[in-house]
Structure 1
Amino acid sequence: MENSIAIYGAYGHTGKFIIAELYRQGYQLILSGRDEEKLLNLKTEYPDSIIKAANINDSKSLDEAFSGAKIIVNCAGPFLDTAKPIIESALRLNIHYIDLSAEQKAVLDVFEQFSEQAKSKEILVIPAVAFYGGLADLLSTAITQDWNEIDEINVYIGLNSWHPTKGTRLTGDRNHYTRLTLKDNRLQELQPGSPIKWDFKNPIGIQEAVALPLSEIITISRHLKVKSINTFLSQNSLDDLRNAETPEPKPTDEKNRSSQLFSVEVVAAKDHKKRTISAQGQDIYAVTAPLVVETINRILSGKTVKTGVTTIGEVFNASDFLQSLDKDDIIISDMQESDLN
């Protein structure tokens, strides 16, 4: 049980990508979730795994499921509902916690409710270790690591399509809270604005994009001294998401990734200088797996700078983290610096 990782919501779409990579790297898997039948189906593929059904409304079942694990990975959204009970179990058991939350309110709640407890227990609680939240945090931190203060960070997310999972749709239905952006050094309600045009480069190209802040606003603002942060999402992908007829993603390669392509560009400004970095790859759900597994590897090897509630941009060397990722999973550009126009 030395390298045991508990995955809650293991049979979910993103959970399956994560357990496949953890299994490939030799970790002992504790597969958990509410549906025992789905867990037993997974065990046929991962016969050495341990199956432990648990319900978020039953603290005893959670503690029994996670006992013996080094880290809990919560893949079961909506995180507005699942983060609190699972973090409470992690605190009782003194083990680290990771989740994949794109929900701003869920991430804010984790910081506000558990920072002192996690620090006193000397465990790590890292929300939003995923495409939304974590990736932009890493990119932003990497290009501003020698800047004490930052005027503005803009995140541009382009998808050639978005076939949402059932979990994404459930989260959207649950997440009715006001979207927040960072302006004048404080979180503020997002104000309506006009779409912009942004060149996401090949293969996505020029797309109309709209302001749509997600959990990266929270993760970045928790540790970088920045006056404003904005996130823009390509309108075409938002149209797919809002269309109830858009089907779920379908596997197209040996890694079970869909054909979806993504581009994330982060632009940071300070004084009269601008820095840019980008990330491109395939399938926003699949790319969460290497982010999670690299986080696990670094926690277990002691490559952390603090305990308590934190973000992957803060707790690790962001540049080194990005450089360690396989180019088949994600391609990270070199940072470019120029004068502001």
Structure 2
Amino acid sequence: MVSNHTAVAVYGASGHTGAFVIAELLRRGLPVVAVGRDVSRVPAGVPARLAAIDDAAALERAFAGCAVVINCAGPFLDTAPPVVEAALRAGCAYIDVTAEQASALSTFERYDERARAAGVAIIPAAGFYGGLADLLASALVGDQPVDDMTVAIALDHWWPTKGTRQTGERNRVPRVVVEHGRLVPMAMPAPKTAWTFDAPHGVQDMEQMPFSEIITISRHLHVRNLRAYLNAASLSEIRDAATPQPVAIDTQGRSAQKFVIEVVARDREGTRRAVAHGQDIYAVTAPLVVEAAARLLDSSFNRSGALTLGQAFDAHDFLRAFGPEHLTFALHAI
């Protein structure tokens, strides 16, 4: 349960993802406060508060009177600890959108007990990477133990933002997967495979590239072996310094990028598959975290601690909240 305040503070409000989050909060009629070291690009009429990441007192003042803080400012290895600390001091719940495994794992391990004591929820990795796969996996298997699970993602393009570039340069922590129920370093060189997606992505060459979904899924689901792959074409783009940033092509500010994410679970009962399609991985993060914030604001929500989206909420119900303009998903037995 959060405080009796109703405003949602967005840290990193002037960034690419932060702008999508503010727009979605406004669309849903939720009170929003923009926070950051630069709020010059915040939409007119949105309350804005200046706070640098290294100014603990300013962060706490900026979050005062809010119920939820959504952190959109990476690299999260650097921003998550001070923003979580300030949110806890201000009595706020916390959500972030990190794809960084080390950041998500640290948040879970460092802040679960304190969040429980404070009676608030802390939800790291609630965006496209981390959150969406966790919801799909939770809806697919529930509490049932699974022998093997694979997350496969294909992007028809990956036009990286400036923040994505900065995070990639900062995050040099070795990536992990789950083997025999334990987090272990990913094998190097990264294993490769081929994957057949539904149209329009079709057959894709894939490279093992685990993001924060490994941390979120293994946090609460009983999975013996867990791996994640990304299509090689999108990896080639993001590894190329000449690849441009995303360009808006519609009234929502989304790029033309199309994505598909599949979660496949195998056990003695057979094989099951969850699949979701959408447009623009940065844009789709906004309805995910805003839906989470709206549910945290609901007086009936009574969970606390460091949680994943699939732990905090009913995954089926959460996914059904999205219209086809944001996301389509399906669950299949194979």
Matches within 5 A, 1:148-297: 149-192=145-188, 193-297=190-294
Instruction: Give the C-alpha shift of residue 2 in structure 1.
Output: 4.2
How much does 1:3 deviate? 2.4
* Amino acid of the structure 2 residue aligned with 1:175: N
| Equivalent AA in structure 2 for residue 263 of structure 1 | V
Q: CA deviation at 1:304?
A: 4.1
- Kindly indicate whether structure 1 or structure 2 has the higher relative contact order, using CA contacts under 8 Å at least 6 residues apart: 2
Is contact 2:143-2:222 (8 Å) kept? no
Alpha-carbon separation, structure 1, partners of 2:26 and 2:261: 28
CA contact (8 A) 2:157 2:233 kept: yes
Q: CA deviation at 1:194?
A: 3.7
- What SS does structure 2 have at the residue aligned with 1:57? coil
Equivalent residue for 1:25, pick from 20, 23, 28: 28
1:50 aligns with 2:50: no
Given residue 186 of structure 1, which amino acid in structure 2 is its aligned partner?
Answer: R
Is the aligned partner of 1:144 residue 2:141? yes
Moved more, 228-237 or 270-279: 270-279
Give, in whole Å, the separation in 1 of the partners of 2:143 and 2:59. 42
- Give aligned-pair identity as a percent: 43
| SS of the residue 2:249 aligns to | coil
- Quick check: 1:336 aligned with 2:324? no
CA contact (8 A) 1:304 1:316 kept: no
Bigger drift between 236-245 and 1-10 goes to 1-10
Question: Which position in structure 2 is the counterpart of 1:101?
Answer: 98
- The answer to whether the Cα contact below 8 Å between 2:206 and 2:230 also exists between their aligned partners in 1 is yes
How many residues are treated as equivalent by the alignment? 330
Range moving further from structure 2, 121-130 or 20-29: 20-29
| Paired residues of 1:303 and 1:316 also in contact (CA < 8 A) | no
State the match for 1:8 in structure 2. 11
Deviations 1:42-87 (A, max 9, x none): 2xx331x211010111111001111001100000000000000011
One-letter identity of the residue aligned with 1:46: A
Q: Deviations over 1:93-146 (max 9, x none)?
A: 111000000000001111111111111111110001100000000000001015
Distance, in Å, in 1 between the alignment partners of 2:209 and 2:16 is 23
Q: Secondary structure at the match of 1:326?
A: coil
Match of 2:304 among 279, 302, 307: 307
Distance across 2 between alignment mates of 1:228 and 1:337: 19
Look up the SS of the partner of 1:286 in the other structure: helix
Distance 1:194 1:218 in 2: 19
> Once the two structures are superposed, what CA deviation does each residue of 1:136-172 show, in whole Å capped at 9, x if it has no partner?
000000010152x111110000000100000000000
SS at match of 1:130: coil
Judge conservation of contact 2:14–2:40 (CA < 8 Å) in 1: no
Matching of residues 111-126 of structure 1 within 5 Å: 111-126=108-123
TM-score between the two structures when normalised by the length of structure 2: 0.96
Q: Which amino acid aligns with 1:213?
A: P
Name the residue aligned to 2:41. 41
User: Separation in 1 of the partners of 2:332 and 2:292?
Assistant: 26
Moved more, 234-243 or 21-30: 21-30
CA distance in 2, matches of 1:298, 1:91: 18
SS in 2 for 1:285: helix
Give the conservation status (yes or no) of the 8 Å contact 1:80–1:106. Answer: yes
Q: How far 1:300 sits from its partner (Å)?
A: 1.1
Q: Distance in 2 between matches of 1:306 and 1:91?
A: 15
Counterpart amino acid of residue 72 in structure 1: V
CA displacement, residues 241-269 of structure 1 (integer Å, 9 cap, x when unaligned):
00000000000011110000000011011
Amino acid at match of 2:22: I
TM-score, normalization by structure 1: 0.94
Q: CA RMSD in A?
A: 1.2
